[in-house]
Structure 1
Amino acid sequence: MSGQAAAPAPPPGLQLRRALPYAAASAILALTQGLGQGFVSVNIPQIAGDLGITATEASWLMAVYMIPRATLPLMLIKLRTQFGLRRFAEVGIVAYLLVSFAAVWISDLRSAVVVQALSGIASAPLSTLAFLYMLEPLGPAWKMRLGLPMALALISAGPLLARVISPALLGDGGLTWMHLTALGLAMVSLAVVFRLPLTPVPHEKVLRPMDFVSFALLSVGFGGVIIACVMGPIHWWTAAPWIGWMLAAAVASLTAVVVIELHRKAPLFDVRWLASPEIVHLTVALFLFRLILSEQSTGAPRMFQILGVAPSQMTGLFAVICLASLLGALACVGWMRAGREPQFHLVALLLVAAGAWMDAQSTIDTRPEQLLVSQAMISFAGMLFLPPAMMAGLGAAMRKGPNYLLSFVIVFLSTQSIGGMLGSGAFSTLINGRQAQHLQLLAEQVPATSPLAAADLAGRMAALAPQIADPALRRAQAVALLAQDAANQAYVMAYNDAYFLTFLISAAAAAALLLHVFRDWLAARIAKPEAESPP
């Protein structure tokens, strides 16, 4: 018999009848957080109208919501470890319920900004709780293979479902019904958290005074980048000097964080590990793919909005996108294994490239039904990419030790939250710039004095004759409609340029991945005979 005690066996998963409630709780928590975020991001014009403010002012609501969502999870991990999982869950969900109740009484921009900032703070624990409730009933072998893809799919489904159900809620009861729906979900989540306790973890004193200094500087840095990405395309980057000053302050704050963490004996996150080739490669891959996926979150919805497509006409498209995301998660459950990340990522990049190329053929007459297949391919690809990448990152962190989990969280948050906002800002900036160029080219190719423009204008005036008797007003209205059609055509051409750029980036990334895999295969083949040769 060995003198050493055998390592304890890992705990098995719960029985199916006990596991299903935890899976349902994970779905409720994920949808509560996702719908709360989606109700704001997809209804900015309606919120602006309800509060009597401009859409530009209403965009601040999204910015102040995303800042704590991007930074707070880092500290929540330490808070959970120091004060206990149970207290963390109960305090987090009670705070979210109170903020959801306060949202019902929003009446102006100031109160809306305050409530949205609090909502971002209070909703930050919900994503973590959704993960924990999905992993809780599963055995070790299934936590990564089943729990991780399904939790990610449920979290990503919330904003998509918000686009599906928002038209019905706004049509029946306006923003009040939207806020009441969020409040109802928060109340259900509260009951779920108190009814289904999570397995407690040992408490450990991990918070240090310098952690709060690093976190404050990190929040300033991330917050500056997020606000600039939201407001830059709206105000235009060079037209508002405060955006440049904010970006400079953000860079200075992030630089200060790196300097502080490099000189700490117990850093909040390990900068040297983050700069290692393996983690840099993972960071670049996550960041690049998040930028690519901005084609779906920023591209098609805004293009259809410009073309006059009502939100209720896009519900079918987003329902298909949501379904494709869930199917992608199921594909990960069936085939995801450690070491298969390159194959998953290659398929995902090829699907995005194919979908973006299909979208690049859009015209002014394109409607959501024509993009069902391409957008479903991109959504499916997104879920094929993220779980294997996250599994690889978590594996790399856990091989170094549990303390490196916070360092990986920094990588994941910066690439997903910051990458998503940066991708949206870059996509919108590209669209605005290309639209202006295309509009100028259209004006040069078809001047107002050309026979083609004169014939089009005459046809529009004839169509307006039964409605407008005054010839001068009729001509002015016809000219305005002609200019609007030209602007819409320029926007579609700009979106096609952005879609085609997404295709080129995805195809180039797929080619680079193939070369990387071939290099690794060649190196392993060369090293094998050397290892087998006798000394």
Structure 2
Amino acid sequence: MAKQPRFLEPVPDWTPEEKPTLPGSPGAILHSPPKRLLYFIIGVFVAISAGLSNGFIMANLPAIQGEYSLTPIEAAWIPAVYVMANVSSNLILFKARQQYGLRIFSEIGLVIFIAVLILHLFVRNYEMALFVRFISGLTAAPLSSLGMYYIMQAFKRVDMAKGLYIGLGFQQLGLPLAWIISPALVNVNDWAVLYTFELGLALCCLAMVVSLKLPRSMRIQVFEKQDFFTFFLLAPGFALLCFVLAQGPILWWFDSPKLAYALIASFVLIVVGLVYEHYRVNPLIMTRWLGTKSTLQFILGALLIRFIMSEQSYAAVNFLKTMGMGPDQFVPFYVVIFFGIVAGTLFSAATFSRNTIILHLLFAELLILVACGLDYNLTSDVRPSNFFASQFLVGFAGGMFIGPLLLVGVMSALQHGPTHMVTFVVLFSATQTFGGLLGSSFFSTYQQQRTQTYRAELSSQLNPTNPQVAQRLAIYQKSTASTVNDPVLQQNQEMKTMNQVISREAQVRAYNDVIALNGIFAVFLLMWGGFNIARAKWRGRKETAQA
């Protein structure tokens, strides 16, 4: 039988309505309207700031690569380190919140992050950039929870699920907002502006959470020495898996033995960690619950819905980059995504009920499928404005699905008791992190393979005696004749231009294949979700009839 944890401080005299659902969560105090508004403003600012720091790196990664003279492999480590730290920190975040309080944990993390950013202003090199991203990933996890709880304080207890929806949805605004403001903020001749802005965000967050603190929570003794042994097994296992997914398409899967060694080490560490947890008296991870049918369905569904969201983060964005779009041209593109996420989040919160949770998830999948249909048949003439309708739908789906997905998992975990919440937090974070990484890695690999196939196919069709080919070469000859006099150099330039056109058209076709494949995945996920709903209703009617 599991040992009952002891309280570390006297429990406040809460009414039943004020008592938090779980230790570590703030009390549900009924605040005055002005104070609720302040909680909401602070919560939104903190929630957006949690994702904005990493958003700046993603938006400016090519320029940062140039600043530090990095290879593509080295540049890929910068966002990868953030993800490694973020997914690993969730292993201990929930228990740290229960034992020490979320407020203290978050404030300490912010102070450390501020100190590291100040140091980075003076020490600007690649190694320091990696260290800053690592600390940023550790800080983002408690900061996201902090923003969510501040927003929830702005709602009455009966409406706190709506606050949960808004908090989770607004956390996704960091990336599009970073793309929107980066061109006006970043000066390639003075990168200190970017780091100074990040520092300012962290200082504002710290000032806000210190000025208006969250209500008290129940603090209980939950940490055991065995928890840290589990952490030191699972955290590097997750980190190595992040490394494989981030570097696989760059190093190429079958050309780099280090990917194989990293994958083997990751598998061994994760398996050993889970086996160790399986036989503990008070486990950190409830492995028996992980093996149940309902939990496995949740894992698969959560992983796949984040996977198909890659239609936006990989296909649309990288296609436009391939077509030569720069940061300034992405601003209106991400403005549309920004408002799509806001609209989806507010729609999800406004229509919240127990009966609509699953319907919201299915609707999000349907919107992604529609977006894939709108984006199919790309050409080299496509520009950001051609993606506005589809990416608004994907943004809407992204804002809408995350809240219901979390709520489904929370309700399932609480049915088995509060001890299962740590497992769920790790599970939810892992599915969203690895779902996104897996989507980008898979589609990047698929796109590269299809590009090579189409390039070979197009090249084999180039016959100089073909009138169309000859006409195109003549056009290239005219364009180079004004600058190049040597006939041999002219011919080389013509073939070089032709090869560039072939490469571009091969990539266009490959991205169309990526979008089509993602649409197929969305169809299967939608059918699977509809089947599960129909089966659940049929079983419910059957049980009612038998009763």
TM-score calculated relative to the size of structure 2: 0.92
Counterpart of 1:334 in structure 2 is 350
Q: Which amino acid aligns with 1:167?
A: P
1:9 to 8, 17, 26: 17
Aligned partners of 1:9 and 1:20: how far apart in 2?
20
Aligned partners of 1:267 and 1:364: how far apart in 2?
54
Counterpart of 2:171 in structure 1 is 155
Q: Describe how 1:447-486 pairs up with structure 2 within 5 A.
A: 447=463, 450-486=466-502
Counterpart of 1:213 in structure 2 is 229
Q: Which amino acid aligns with 1:503?
A: G
2:139 to 107, 117, 122: 122
In terms of mean alpha carbon deviation, does 474-483 or 318-327 score higher? 474-483
Aligned partners of 2:145 and 2:324: how far apart in 1?
38
Counterpart of 2:36 in structure 1 is 19
Counterpart of 2:251 in structure 1 is 235
Counterpart of 2:455 in structure 1 is 439
Q: Could you tell me how far 1:267 is from its partner in structure 2?
A: 0.3
Deviations 1:165-215 (A, max 9, x none): 112222476422211111111111111111011112222221111111111
For the pair 1:312 / 2:328, whether they are aligned, the reply is: yes
Deviations 1:267-302 (A, max 9, x none): 002111122122211111110001000111111111
Counterpart of 1:204 in structure 2 is 220
Counterpart of 1:101 in structure 2 is 118
The question of whether the paired residues in 1 share the 8 Å contact of 2:169 and 2:402 is answered with no
In terms of mean alpha carbon deviation, does 382-391 or 131-140 score higher? 131-140
Q: Which amino acid aligns with 1:376?
A: F
Q: Which amino acid aligns with 2:389?
A: V
Counterpart of 2:414 in structure 1 is 398
Aligned partners of 1:20 and 1:411: how far apart in 2?
32
Q: Could you tell me how far 1:448 is from its partner in structure 2?
A: 5.3
Aligned partners of 1:448 and 1:30: how far apart in 2?
59
Tell me the secondary structure at the aligned position of residue 377 of structure 2.
coil
Change (3 A) 1:329 1:173: farther
Tell me the secondary structure at the aligned position of residue 400 of structure 1.
coil
RMSD (CA atoms): 1.8
For the pair 1:430 / 2:446, whether they are aligned, the reply is: yes
Counterpart of 1:408 in structure 2 is 424
In terms of mean alpha carbon deviation, does 176-185 or 232-241 score higher? 176-185
1:344 to 337, 351, 360: 360
Q: Which amino acid aligns with 1:396?
A: S
Change (3 A) 1:7 1:116: closer
For the pair 1:112 / 2:120, whether they are aligned, the reply is: no
2:389 to 373, 383, 398: 373
Change (3 A) 1:122 1:8: closer
Aligned partners of 1:102 and 1:33: how far apart in 2?
20
Q: Percent identity?
A: 30
The question of whether the paired residues in 1 share the 8 Å contact of 2:72 and 2:250 is answered with no
Counterpart of 1:273 in structure 2 is 289
For the pair 1:247 / 2:255, whether they are aligned, the reply is: no
Counterpart of 1:54 in structure 2 is 71
For the pair 1:528 / 2:544, whether they are aligned, the reply is: yes
Change (3 A) 1:134 1:530: same
Counterpart of 2:6 in structure 1 is none
Counterpart of 1:3 in structure 2 is none
1:358 to 369, 374, 396: 374
The question of whether the paired residues in 2 share the 8 Å contact of 1:29 and 1:127 is answered with yes
Deviations 1:11-45 (A, max 9, x none): 55322210111111112212222111011122221
In terms of mean alpha carbon deviation, does 366-375 or 68-77 score higher? 68-77
Aligned partners of 1:484 and 1:174: how far apart in 2?
34
Tell me the secondary structure at the aligned position of residue 215 of structure 2.
coil
1:70 to 82, 87, 92: 87
Counterpart of 1:194 in structure 2 is 210
Aligned partners of 2:53 and 2:211: how far apart in 1?
22
How many pairs align?
A: 525
For the pair 1:383 / 2:403, whether they are aligned, the reply is: no
Counterpart of 1:39 in structure 2 is 56
Tell me the secondary structure at the aligned position of residue 92 of structure 2.
helix
Counterpart of 1:505 in structure 2 is 521
The question of whether the paired residues in 2 share the 8 Å contact of 1:100 and 1:119 is answered with no
The question of whether the paired residues in 2 share the 8 Å contact of 1:261 and 1:269 is answered with yes
Tell me the secondary structure at the aligned position of residue 505 of structure 2.
helix
Tell me the secondary structure at the aligned position of residue 104 of structure 1.
helix
Structure 1 residue runs of 5 or longer lacking an equivalent are 1-5
In terms of mean alpha carbon deviation, does 90-99 or 64-73 score higher? 90-99
Aligned partners of 1:213 and 1:17: how far apart in 2?
46
Change (3 A) 1:87 1:515: closer
In terms of mean alpha carbon deviation, does 453-462 or 516-525 score higher? 516-525
Aligned partners of 1:360 and 1:176: how far apart in 2?
41
Tell me the secondary structure at the aligned position of residue 13 of structure 1.
coil
Change (3 A) 1:173 1:136: farther
TM-score calculated relative to the size of structure 1: 0.94
Q: Could you tell me how far 1:322 is from its partner in structure 2?
A: 1.0
Q: Which amino acid aligns with 1:303?
A: F
Deviations 1:468-526 (A, max 9, x none): 33333333223222211111111111111010111111112212222222222222333
Q: Which amino acid aligns with 1:256?
A: V
Q: Could you tell me how far 1:349 is from its partner in structure 2?
A: 1.3
Q: Describe how 1:167-178 pairs up with structure 2 within 5 A.
A: 167-171=183-187, 174-178=190-194
Aligned partners of 1:203 and 1:351: how far apart in 2?
42
Tell me the secondary structure at the aligned position of residue 200 of structure 1.
coil
Q: Could you tell me how far 1:449 is from its partner in structure 2?
A: 5.7
The question of whether the paired residues in 2 share the 8 Å contact of 1:149 and 1:333 is answered with yes
Q: Could you tell me how far 1:460 is from its partner in structure 2?
A: 1.1
The question of whether the paired residues in 2 share the 8 Å contact of 1:86 and 1:198 is answered with yes
Tell me the secondary structure at the aligned position of residue 378 of structure 2.
coil
